[in-house]
């Protein structure tokens, strides 16, 4: 049996005048959007804060025009752009509220309470928001690494995400990077009659071998042990001086050289982290700070859209139950802890029995 029935928020609710939000979600990627739908459908006022200017997260940022084929329900695949637009439209219809181009700065504790629930203040680069629960869904891969030699051109012809089809159709594109994202970008350009020079710093691309083969099959030029040393504009073309001594003239550049970790942001939150910089969580996706949950790539080893959806939904349900049944999660935690302790004692007893038996022999 379902644990709830869809509850529609009052369409006449003036969100600008509410004193606090039930839930604030950080990140409008797959996990954040799934969480927002779940809380809004349970009648909770929900605000999603996103650092970028579009919803969708990595599917939108990395695979806007690429077909994603491993999502159930889409036998012919679905592009990151279409998937993001559909999920965002669904969230808007559920009256989830959004703030774009706001970066998380801090989550502060306050002395204000709502039904014995201490409120938190989510501070962003533009504003602050009081709320009862927070769900962090920003992803570990937070911002693309910039290439200073190209970034100094300050041009819309230098892309750090795979641009839309019309931005590179029939053009000569320099792709910088050797991982899967760079290889995917090169293939997409070549499939749309563009020309590609792929610059790989190492001795060979680190991405999938079949993607490398596809680039060569489509006529792409792969330059290994090559970096961009200088860059300038000449009659609306990018002229790149390469570390090999060659010069490359192209219409635009796509830079895919990895991402900066969000660890600095996580450390500011004062929550426990794992050795790899990801957020440590309990079985209920709650962090070391009560009332703050974390889902998706911020902690998980399996980085799939469907996994992010599932975690966003689960954390949202736990947040909902903490709000509507304050003692529910505490009681469940206590019960699970007792079960774990019983299991541990049984294991220790079995190990001791085995040791004693070996000694008697």
Domain boundaries, the chain: 15-143+260-334, 146-257
Report the pLDDT value the prediction gives residue 162, as an integer from 0 to 100: 74
pLDDT in tens, 60-102: 877 788 888 888 999 999 998 999 999 999 999 999 999 999 9
What backbone phi and psi angles, to 5 degrees, belong to 84? -65, -45
In angstroms, the first-to-last Cα distance of the chain is 55
* Cβ(125)–Cβ(310) below 8 Å: no
- Which of 39-48, 60-69, 107-116 is least confident? 60-69
CATH of domain 146-257: 3.50.50.60
- Which of 59-68, 138-147, 208-217 is least confident? 138-147
From 18, 49, 48, 87, select the one nearest 10 (Cα to Cα).
Answer: 18
As a whole number, mean pLDDT of residues 266-281 equals 88
Of 206 and 332, the structure prediction assigns the larger pLDDT to 206
In this model, does residue 339 exceed pLDDT 90?
no
Of 206 and 354, the structure prediction assigns the larger pLDDT to 206
User: Which DSSP category does 133 fall into?
Assistant: E
Report the pLDDT value the prediction gives residue 1, as an integer from 0 to 100: 40
In this model, does residue 174 exceed pLDDT 90?
yes
In this model, does residue 337 exceed pLDDT 60?
no
Q: Using CA atoms, how far apart are residues 346 and 106, in angstroms rounded to an integer?
A: 43
Report the pLDDT value the prediction gives residue 160, as an integer from 0 to 100: 85
As a whole number, mean pLDDT of residues 41-64 equals 89
Strand arrangement of the beta sheet that strand 228-234 belongs to: 228-234, 237-242, 247-250
Let me know how long the chain is. Answer: 361
In this model, does residue 142 exceed pLDDT 80?
no
* Architecture per CATH, 15-143+260-334: 3-Layer(bba) Sandwich (3.50)
**355 Cα distance to chain centroid:** 48
pLDDT in tens, 219-254: 999 999 999 999 999 988 999 999 999 999 999 999
Of all residues in the chain, the percent with pLDDT exceeding 70 is 85
Of 79 and 338, the structure prediction assigns the larger pLDDT to 79
* Cβ(87)–Cβ(33) below 8 Å: yes
Are domains 15-143+260-334 and 146-257 of this chain identical in fold?
Answer: yes
Q: Which residue has the tokens 């892309």?
A: 159
Report the pLDDT value the prediction gives residue 106, as an integer from 0 to 100: 93
Report the pLDDT value the prediction gives residue 258, as an integer from 0 to 100: 80
Q: How confident is the model at residue 3 (pLDDT cuts 50, 70, 90)?
A: low
Of all residues in the chain, the percent with pLDDT exceeding 90 is 58
How many CB atoms neighbour CB 342 within 10 A? Answer: 10
User: Which DSSP category does 326 fall into?
Assistant: T
In this model, does residue 328 exceed pLDDT 70?
no
Phi-psi category of residue 98: left, alpha or beta, with phi > 0 → left and psi -120 to 50 → alpha? beta
Q: How confident is the model at residue 53 (pLDDT cuts 50, 70, 90)?
A: confident
């Amino acid at each position: 049996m379902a644990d709830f029935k869809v509850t529609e928020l009052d369409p006449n609710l003036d969100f600008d005048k509410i004193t606090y939000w039930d839930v604030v979600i950080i990140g409008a990627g797959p996990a954040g959007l799934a969480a927002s739908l779940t809380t809004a459908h349970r009648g909770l006022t929900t605000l999603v804060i996103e650092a970028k200017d579009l919803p969708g997260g990595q599917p939108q940022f990395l695979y806007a025009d690429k077909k994603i084929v491993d999502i159930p329900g889409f036998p012919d695949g679905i592009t990151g752009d279409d998937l993001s637009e559909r999920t965002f439209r669904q969230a808007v219809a559920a009256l989830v509220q959004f703030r774009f181009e706001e970066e998380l700065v801090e989550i502060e504790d306050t002395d204000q309470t709502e039904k014995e629930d201490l409120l938190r203040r989510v501070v962003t680069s533009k504003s602050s928001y009081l709320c009862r629960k927070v769900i962090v869904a920003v992803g570990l891969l937070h911002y693309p690494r910039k290439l200073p030699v190209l970034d100094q051109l300050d041009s819309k012809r230098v892309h750090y995400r795979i641009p839309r089809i019309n931005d590179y159709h029939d053009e000569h594109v320099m792709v910088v990077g050797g991982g899967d994202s760079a290889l995917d970008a090169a293939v997409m350009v070549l499939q749309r009659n563009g020309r590609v020079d792929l610059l790989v710093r190492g001795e060979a691309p680190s991405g999938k071998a079949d993607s490398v083969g596809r680039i060569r099959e489509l006529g792409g030029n792969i330059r290994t042990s090559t970096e961009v040393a200088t860059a300038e504009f000449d009659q609306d073309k990018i002229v790149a001086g390469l570390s090999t001594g060659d010069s490359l003239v192209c219409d635009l550049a796509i830079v895919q050289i990895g991402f900066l970790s969000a660890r600095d942001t996580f450390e500011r939150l004062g929550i426990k982290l794992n050795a790899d910089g990801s957020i440590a969580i309990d079985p209920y996706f709650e962090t070391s700070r009560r009332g703050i949950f974390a889902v998706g790539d911020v902690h998980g080893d399996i980085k799939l859209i469907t996994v992010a959806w599932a975690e966003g939904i689960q954390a949202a349900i736990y947040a909902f139950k903490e709000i509507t049944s304050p003692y529910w999660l505490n009681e469940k935690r206590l019960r699970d802890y007792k079960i774990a302790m019983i299991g541990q004692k049984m294991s220790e007893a079995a190990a001791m029995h085995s040791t004693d038996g070996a000694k008697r022999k």
